[in-house]
Amino acid sequence: MSGHSKWATIKHQKGAKDAARGKLFAKLIRQVEVAARSGGSDLDANATLRTMYNKARAASVPVDTIDRAIKRGSGELEGVIYEAITYEGYAPAGVAVLIDVLTDNRNRTGSEIRSLFSKNGGSMAEPGAVSWQFSRAGVAYVAGTVPEDDVMMVALEAGASDVVRDGSMWKITSAPNEIEQLREALEAAGMTVESAEATMVSSTVIQITSPEDARKVLKVIDALEDLDDVQDVYSNFDISEELLELVGA
């Protein structure tokens, strides 16, 4: 299991609890609202909003809920002004972590993240200490039961740069602005896309091999994601699916 994007996909496949589902909805709605505020409410003209809209719909957020978020962002309805901030830190085992937040109170959010790291064997890092090794890319996952040649042919024709086996799935990488066309091409070919998003990918990978380290790292990642202001968490750990099963993740 390579990176946090895969971990999130596996959790989604296992099914979220109602509370976790509610938190996911809240985060996605906030992202839609901010995208509409920064680029307008027209899905055709605002690529970021279109991506956030599709992401929310893929998570089964009701259309009318998304529409209200767009209206709040565009000023048609009253809404809260959020500030986008990225924090950096280290989880146990030296795992690098980037945390994207949308907050209406940076002091509160920064304090919560710092406290979470310190209570779970991690630490905050100075700006730039972690982010240098991450770059934005489009990443899609398709079930590994699909023949490699079929995945390769469709993915490369859609502009993908790489197709590799990642545990029980195919991991397909593209430019971040081409992820939606990649998703559409894969689905048009009859493939089930487990996830497809523009994400942050690290140039270095920390291989987690011990159950103790795996539990510690996943505990920090899950706790960060559970914070209301945190929108995305990116990291550079690699845990095998066998070890995930062993630790009960």
Cβ–Cβ < 8 Å for 182, 174: yes
Q: For 66-119, what is each residue's pLDDT tens digit?
A: 999 999 988 888 878 889 999 999 999 999 999 999 999 999 999 999 999 999
CA distances from 181 to 105, 128, 186, 202 (A): 36, 32, 9, 23
Amino acid letter, residue 33: E
pTM as predicted:
0.80
pLDDT digits (tens, 9 = 90+) for 49-68: 998 898 899 888 999 999 99
Domains of the chain: 3-74 (1.10.10.200), 84-131+205-246 (3.30.70.980), 133-202 (3.30.70.980)
SS3 115: helix
Model confidence pLDDT, tens digit, residues 6-49: 555 555 445 545 556 778 888 999 999 999 998 999 999 998 89
